[in-house]
Amino acid sequence: MNENGSYKTLLKNDPEYRSYLLGTFSAQLVALPVESFGVGTERERTTFLVLSKDQVKKPFWPLIYLAAIRPELLGLTLGHAVLAMLALRPLVEKHFSSVEDFFRVGALPMFLCLVVTVLAHASACLFNDYQDHLNGTDRKSLSHGSRVIQKAWSRAVEVRRWAFVNAFFALLIGLYLLWGNWWMFVGLAVLTAAAIHFYARMTPFWNKWGAGDFWITLLFGPLLFFSVWFSILTQENFLVFSREMLVDGILISLPMGLLASWTLQVRQFQDIFKREEGSFRSLISRMNFDQAKFFLVAEGALFFFAQPVVFYMIWKDPGQSGVLAVGAALACAGLFILKNLASPLSSRMLKLNRLALSVHAGFLLLWIEALWVR
Amino acid sequence: MLSLKDLKIFEKDDFPKYLPKLNSLYDELFSAGKGFRSKLIFLIAKHLRLKDEEVRLLAQTIEFIHNASLLHDDLVDRSHLRRNKPAAWLKYSPEYAVLAGDYLLARVMVNLSRFGNLRLIQYTAEMISDLLEGEWIQDSLVQDWNVNLEQLDQVHDLKTASLFKWCLRAPFIAKENNDPHLHEILGQMGSLLGLLFQRGDDLLDFNIRNHEKKAVLGDLKSGYLNSFGAYLSRDFSAAEKVQLTQCESLEDVYRLVGGEERFLEAVSSFDRMNDQAIELYLHLNQSLGDVLSGEDLNVQGEFKPLARLLYYRSKSS
């Protein structure tokens, strides 16, 4: 093996193939897949760059773990969970003003809710990296996943192990929070698993009809919000719910779910040049560059202005709704960057991800501020 | 058996005699080229035992397409020189340059349809559309000083590598060997050849191994950050990028990166990265042994030196 490593090509039906992908073929060597042909078919063939472990410079392991769990995306999960908690108080006050001891449920379940959210977030990111590595998606696009496997910072088998550990503790704490409310626990767990499964495995046909966008909206919107609320409200049998609260709950969670879906669409749009059939999980999969640009601008504007409208519908607070409307107008300025993109390979495409996450984070902070002031 | 010396890209009778300007434009265009791609076709075809007329057809096809792209390219880029002579659009007119390029592409389709291999016609049409997509996208990157190497590689994969892929794959398609494994490997090898050729070419712009005496900093001055420029400026601040766009000479570039020594270190590091691509190319060439047999396997010997030759522009290195 020279200083640059050596190459090895394996076919899917080679006995060593899976062990090379998982990184279990040797204790001294690491194998980085550099090229795959016929991914997902019987004639799948991958070329690996084989390096000795000493050739790979790795950061300290907590930093690897941190990179793998994609902290930049925590706004979509942890941020939404915080928002759900803040939204709970005025909702309970609005519908059950006589309930004075609502906050007697204490800080522990709230804290545990946040922990579960982070664990579930980490588990989803790690499983996603592992799956992308096995099915070759990470070889098609350099913007997919955390790339800790591609940089040989971690073996695929270790990433999968960490994904299971995180999922196990998330389930354990979730079980504690919803102890006794078995139907609720099973219902939320099944719906969440279904949303993740259908999002990851949806066929291109259904994605063209927006199935991927639907599941993402559901997952980051109503499902996450109601999971947080049930986990808190069921403590000490404090379950208070009414049809009106359910409607308001859906109204609050839906704009954030839609915003999360828009954020992920923008991330996929970044890769529109390299689009492979089946690798896109949103409506973007049916559009060309110009159509996708128009769609994201129009949809973004609609979702941005949905935020102040929903806030006003629930709390009839013109002041805070106005603040959210100003935020929406500012976010629309960011849409000009999208609208003016000249090429699917321009350097501005690389900034879209940050732009979408910044817009999302901005709205998150405005919602938190608006609910806090209330 | 056709020899490389006998390989003529076109005969006088190939183009209408009543269009003398068109004929003289083509004479000048084809006489100045090295014909590297048609030579590559010839070297592969001889091991596949293709008939002389098949070899001539393939060689003519690739040279026609390549030269059509040059005619259009020079006009799009407003380049004044092609192979050290005035570009066709400048010497004749932009209209003639466009028509001459279009005419070559039309001839390609006429000739290929006579041959009757539908798969070859389809693949050639796909290659031409890739070429045009690459040209279109490259034009949209002018004045984009933040474009990165990965993005440029994708443009070059369409614009430059599509021709190399065709050279490697078309002789096998003409021989009706359509094994998907073989074509995947050849496609990837063609991609690497195109990438290495382009990166080597981009180094000429910075006067590295510039045996062809190409104009220095031509890309940069026409508002295009090439692959080595993108590599060199990958860690530049916004202010440094602005300074790079204002460089008038190589001395300005040296000053910007902290001296000539630092600049040459960057070249060595770029070379090391491309040596890795050459290694991958050689590995893929080796793996052709799994999908080829008999005399066909001799193409491995022809393929072997190509990657290094195209990047370093010299057999000895």
Average pLDDT score, chain A: 84
Min Cα separation B283/chain A (Å): 6
Q: Would the CB atoms of B141 and A345 count as touching at under 8 Å?
A: yes
Instruction: Using CB atoms, pick whichever of A43, A47, A346 lies closest to residue B181.
Output: A43
Structure tokens given for B36: 């590297």
**Closest residue of chain A to B153, computed from CA coordinates:** A345
Instruction: Using CB atoms, pick whichever of B140, B279, B284 lies closest to residue A343.
Output: B140
Structure tokens given for A33: 């897949």
| DSSP string computed for A222-242 | IIHHHHHHHHHHTGGG-----
Instruction: Using CB atoms, pick whichever of B147, B185, B287 lies closest to residue A346.
Output: B147
Q: Would the CB atoms of A4 and B272 count as touching at under 8 Å?
A: yes
Min Cα separation A212/chain B (Å): 27
Instruction: Using CB atoms, pick whichever of B140, B146, B154 lies closest to residue A342.
Output: B140
Which tens digit of pLDDT belongs to each residue from A270-290?
878 766 555 566 777 778 889
**Using CB atoms within 10 A of its CB, is residue B292 exposed (0-12), middle (13-18) or buried (19+)?**
buried
Task: Pinpoint the alpha helices (H) of chain B.
Answer: 20-32, 36-48, 52-77, 88-91, 94-115, 118-140, 149-159, 161-174, 180-204, 218-221, 227-232, 238-245, 250-257, 260-287, 299-303, 306-312
Which tens digit of pLDDT belongs to each residue from B264-282?
999 999 999 999 999 999 9
Q: Would the CB atoms of B180 and A43 count as touching at under 8 Å?
A: yes
CB A292 within 8 A of CB A349: no
Min Cα separation B302/chain A (Å): 21
Asked which of A151-165, B52-66, B69-83 is least confident by mean pLDDT, the reply is: B69-83
CB B153 within 8 A of CB B227: yes
| pLDDT of B7 | 64
User: CA angle, corner A165, sides to A113 and A20, nearest 5?
Assistant: 140
Residue A317, beta-bridge partner list: none
User: CA gyration radius for chain B?
Assistant: 20
Min Cα separation B263/chain A (Å): 22
Neighbouring C-alpha atoms within 13 Å toward the C-beta of A352: 31
Which tens digit of pLDDT belongs to each residue from A188-209?
888 888 887 777 666 666 666 7
Res B101 pLDDT > 90:
yes
What's chain A's length in residues? 374
Task: Collect all residues of chain B within an 8 Å Cβ-Cβ radius of residue A273.
Answer: 154
Q: Please enumerate, as own/partner, the contacts of A348-353 that have beta carbons within 8 Å and a separation of 24 or more.
A: A348/B144, A348/B146, A349/A270, A349/B151, A350/A270, A350/B146, A350/B148, A350/B151, A352/A266, A352/A267, A352/A269, A352/A270, A353/A143, A353/A266, A353/A267, A353/A270
Mutation choice for A interface testing from B136, B152, B183, B184 by most A CBs within 10 A:
B184
Instruction: Using CB atoms, pick whichever of A7, A47, A347 lies closest to residue B147.
Output: A347
Which tens digit of pLDDT belongs to each residue from B130-150?
999 898 888 888 888 999 998
CB A141 within 8 A of CB A274: yes
Mutation choice for A interface testing from B135, B151, B153 by most A CBs within 10 A:
B151
Whether chain A has a CB inside 8 Å of the CB on B180: the answer is yes
Res B259 pLDDT > 90:
yes
| pLDDT of B317 | 40
Task: Collect all residues of chain B within an 8 Å Cβ-Cβ radius of residue A37.
Answer: 181, 184-185, 188
| pLDDT of B316 | 43
Query: How large is the average pLDDT for residues A252-266?
Result: 91
Task: Collect all residues of chain B within an 8 Å Cβ-Cβ radius of residue A348.
Answer: 144, 146
| pLDDT of A204 | 65
